[in-house]
Amino acid sequence: MRRLLDRRPWIVTLLSITAVIAAWAIATETGAVSDLLLPTPGELWSGAADLVVNGYKGYSLGAHIGLSLMRVAVGFGIGTIIGTLLGLLMGMSPTIDALAAPYIEFLRPLPQLAYLVLLIIWFGIGETPKIVLLFLAALPVSAVAARDGVRNVSPQRVQAAQSLGASRLQIFRHVVLPSALGEIFIGARLSIGIVYATLIAAEMIAGASGIGWLILDAGRFLRSDYVIAGILLIAAMGMGLDRGLLLAQRRIVHWAGK
């Protein structure tokens, strides 16, 4: 039995999920836990179906999902691109690193929601403060990952390219960038997690649409079925985004670890 589970770990995962659902059903169906706090599996299914069919507060469920993903795509995309380019320059040039590092190190540990109110004052209520917030969340993580990726390039590879007469541009294109791509993608995966969590919190605080806002607003009316359906949806979306980046990493940086 143990050998079978070692060869097929998905069986353990399936058993674990089944046990949690069974405990949930027993606790709610027997009345041990009030359905006001935790809906039964049937009530959750009905609530999720209602969201799919009727949407929530003037938006379809697809519209809420689309708005959240749009904010992530714009904020994460711009922040990651600019952060990666900046990090590559910081890794290649000590002067640029000295100029940019204080600001990157200032933003990196700073909780993003600490300056959300300031962004609202500057840009008003709307999409701009949310996207700027997500941009600032993605920028430092991507910059540090790219910078460290450049710094960790094997000196022997660079020296070998120099001995063959490669120019600085050729060394960067054929040695430095391919060697740093692994860490750049790791930074992107870390960044998407931070951006996604920041998005949900920003929608709760300063939103009128999106999955985060849906959860907060449904909670005000004690619709725990909507809240849990939204939480499960957020988890599925987050896992999907991370898996997409992981697949891209495996396809683009296919030589990693070989």
- Does 17 fall in a domain? no
Token pair belonging to 206: 């300063």
Tell me, yes or no, whether 10 lies in a domain: no
**CATH label of the domain that carries residue 103:** 1.10.3720.10
| pLDDT (tens place) for every residue of the chain, 258 residues total | 566 556 667 777 788 888 888 888 888 888 787 777 788 888 889 989 999 999 888 889 889 899 888 988 899 999 999 999 999 999 988 999 999 999 998 988 888 778 888 888 888 777 888 889 899 999 999 999 999 999 888 888 888 888 888 788 888 888 888 888 888 998 988 888 888 888 877 887 777 788 888 888 888 888 888 999 988 888 888 888 888 888 888 888 776 655
Torsion angle (degrees, nearest 10) of CA 54, 60, 61, 67: -170
Residue 205, pLDDT score: 76
CA 82 – CA 89 distance, rounded (Å): 11
Q: Residue 167's domain spans which residues? A: 43-252
Q: Is residue 59 part of a domain?
A: yes
Residue 224's contacts (CB-CB under 8 Å, 6 or more residues apart) are 35, 36, 37, 38, 39
Looking at the domain assignment, is residue 119 inside a domain? yes
Residue 33 domain-assigned (yes or no)? no
Give the predicted TM-score (pTM) of the model: 0.81
Tokens of 205: 């605080």
Residue 256 backbone zone (phi > 0: left; psi -120 to 50: alpha; other: beta): beta
Does residue 109 lie in a domain region? yes
Which pLDDT does position 83 carry in this prediction? Answer: 94
Structurally, the chain folds into a number of domains equal to 1
Nearest to 219 by CA among 234, 232, 204: 204
Q: State residue 5's pLDDT score.
A: 54
Q: Let me know if residue 21 belongs to a domain.
A: no
7 by DSSP, 3-state: which? helix
Whether residue 1 is contained in a domain is answered as no
